[in-house]
Every structure is written in C-alpha cells, then in structure tokens.
Copies of this chain bind each other. A is one copy, B any other.
Amino acid sequence: MGDIREYVTGIARAAKKASATLRTLSAEAKNAALASMAAAIDERRAAVIEANARDLEKGRRAGLSKPVLDRLALTDARIDGLVASLSEIAAFEDPVGEVLGVRRPAGFVLEKVRTPIGVVAMIYESRPNVTVDAAALCLKSGNAAILRGGSEAFESSMALVGAIRAGLAAAGIDGDAVQYVERTDYEAIDLLVTQTGLVDLVIPRGGEALIRRVVEKATVPVIKHYKGVCHLYVDESADLAMAAGVVANSKVQRPATCNALETLLVHEAVAAEFLPMAKAAMPTVELRGDEKSRAILPGIAEASEEDWYAEYLDLVLAVKVVADLPEAVAHIERYGSSHTDGIIARDAAAIERFVAAVDSAVVMVNASTRLSDGGVFGLGAEIGISTDKLHARGPMGLRELTTYKWVVRGNGDLRR
C-alpha cells in the first residue's frame, strides 16, 4: 500500500495548500472561476459525452440495471443542466466573511466570522452531476474539494474534472482546488478519511455499507445520513382528505429518494375511515400492514419486523395503527432514522407535543416529507443531508460548508 498511501497523502497536501488561497478569495474571483468552469465544460462537451459513452458501455456489459444506467447517462440536455447549475451556484450569496456576531465582553471587541472549513472530501456513488455540483459548492464556499465518485462513472467524472481544472486554471486559480481520486478501490477511501490535519471534513453519500465503512475508518470528522426511514403520523384530529394527499405525495412523488415516506402511522380512532382513503390515493403502492390495519384493509400483505426498519426506496409502504400519539412517537424513536418525520393534525396541542418529542432533523407538520430538501428550504443548493446532530442537521447547503473563527480586537488587553 506504499505508493497509494503517498498518492492519497499527496492529494491531501495539495488540497490543503490550495485551501490557503481559496480562503482569501473574493466572491468575484470565485464567481469568475465558476463561470470559467462552466465555459470549459461547455467547450469539452463532446469529449465528456464520449467518456460517458465508455462508462455506459462498460455498465451495460457489467449488467447494470436500466435505472442505474439512466442516472449515469450524460446527454446534451444534462450537460446544459450542469452548466446552468454552475451559474446558479455563482448567483448564491458568498457565505464567507459574514459576521455572525460582534460583542464586547470586556475591553476588547469579539467578532465571530464565517470562514471556509478548509479541505472537504466527498465520497459518492454513480451520478456524474455530483462531481460538478460538489466541486462548485466547495469552491463557492472557499473550500478545496477532494472528490471520489463511483467506479461506474469513472470516465465521465475524470472528463468533467479535467474540464473543471482547466476552467480553474484559466481563471488563475490553483487547479488543486478540485482534485479527483483516480483510484476505485476501498484502500484509497480508507486512506483519504484518515488524513487528520489535512482533510477537515468527509461527506459520504451513497449506500449504507459505504457510509458505515467510512465512519468506521475515519479519524477526520464525517457528516452523513445512513438512510431515510421517514414516517407520517395521522392524528385523530387530522383533516383526512389533506392527510391522504400528503401521504400519497410523500410516497409516490419520487419514491427512490431518502425523504420519501416509508412508514404510515394512523391513530386507531380514524384508521377505519382513513386507511381506505389512503389506499385509494396511491393505487400503485403496495401496502404492508400490522394486524389492525389488515383488519381494515384485508387485501394487504402482513408487515414483518424488518418492514418497520425498511427504507424501500420503492412503491411500498409499511402501515401501522397506533393507539395514540405517544405510541407513534415511540415507534419513530425505535425504528426511525432521525431524517424526516411528520404529523398530520388539526389539534394544536397534539402538533406541539409531536414537534417537541420527535428527535428528527426535520419535523413536518401537515406537509409532505418530500419537502425536506435544501433547494425547497431555500438553502441554495444541497451538498448532502445530515442525520447527525453535530454541525449540520437536515439538508446541507453552502453555509453548512463553512465554519467560523473568533477574532479578538484589543488594545494591549491582558488576562488578569
């Protein structure tokens, strides 16, 4: 592992060096670099599509499923999308330098100022657009980016990173502001996440196995979510027509996402009326119920213990009838993933009890779980979702890629 160790440490060192410059760049310089990156991707469009064709061909031979190949494909329209997203990111306000607070606790002035984190490593799977978005969000927030995408998208990502680095160089910025780990093995990841003192943050995105491995190995701080087992609880006070609409939207609008609904909890006082309404609102969804819900909807399958933990990412929904709000909260506490959980209710007291008791990153009140999203929240763009409690919780945007420093401005002030 000698030379791979050197290779990864070399990348981390170069990133740290680049980050010292990025830290002091003006918003104008960063936006010019983003424009230059966009121009370079536009210019190399044909080469990117060619590289992507090689990935697709390899993927087809490897027997990747059609949805995976679809996500992997870069068309002209998708490259237009990547170019447009760079302009969007340039238009966001620069988070760096924002003064978060000024106080005068003693003689001196104490400022808390927003700064870049430094070096951010992104480890992700398959979709090549993540390569561009992650590079751009890191640059805009003044961070050096180390990217390590999925092996299925290797050629595409390399072509995109080549364009990005050419764009950076054209804008007079150290190309090492964005680097790509050209190794598809796990050893490279294990080494990357232990670069204490060089890498400041690791964001893994992808399957639970990848994320658990990163967490096990890392000595550098990690922000992640393992999975999204999202719940909605329909209270006895709910507007049932609204509830059916919100539940159906949460489940079917895009079932493969981490904020899609996975388990429906229904108060027993309204279950007999509500469950048939819910079923009718999402006829394509396979329901798996507990005994009480199967008594109301006899046709549905039986939910096993595993169903309560399941992140289906598909048109399947677990359903349980609960005796009251505390039982719903206890179920979410036990089986949930602290991602996004909600209540449908009219009773204000029930709503506040639920909001206070449910310890999730996002708590929805009479709203679709699918709204749990950085873009929808107006955070700018989303670089990931955190179910951790440290630093960032829920959708992470540009600000969540920053930290702060304290600046003390004195006049010879001493400690007595």
Q: Is A293 an interface residue (CB 8 A)?
A: no
Grouping DSSP codes into helix (H, G, I), strand (E, B) and loop, the A interface class, with mixed when no group exceeds half, is mixed
A96, chain B: closest CB distance, angstroms: 10
If A357-B20, A357-B24, A388-B221 touch, whether A405 touches B414 (CB-CB below 8 Å) is: no
- Evaluate contact between B363 and A408: CB separation under 8 angstroms: yes
- Evaluate contact between B357 and A389: CB separation under 8 angstroms: no
Q: Which residues of B contact A366 (CB under 8 A)?
A: 409-413
Name the CB-closest residue of B to A248: B414
A235, chain B: closest CB distance, angstroms: 14
Name the CB-closest residue of B to A370: B415
Interface set, chain A 351-383, CB cutoff 8 A to B: 355-357, 359-368, 370-373, 376-378
Q: How far is the CA of A378 from the CA of B373 in the complex (A)?
A: 35
Q: Is A9 an interface residue (CB 8 A)?
A: no
Give this chain's copy count. 2
Q: Which residues of B contact A405 (CB under 8 A)?
A: 359-363, 393-394
Q: Is A106 an interface residue (CB 8 A)?
A: yes
Q: How many residues of A contact B (CB 8 A)?
A: 70
Q: Which residues of B contact A357 (CB under 8 A)?
A: 20, 23-24
Q: Which residues of B contact A390 (CB under 8 A)?
A: 117, 200-201, 221, 223, 390-391, 403
- Evaluate contact between B365 and A333: CB separation under 8 angstroms: no
Identify A117's interface contact among B118, B389, B412, B415, CB under 8 A. B389
Apart from A20-B333, A117-B390, A362-B407, list 15 A-B contacts with CB within 8 A: A105-B378, A106-B376, A118-B389, A221-B388, A245-B412, A246-B412, A361-B406, A362-B406, A365-B407, A366-B409, A367-B408, A367-B412, A367-B414, A390-B403, A393-B405
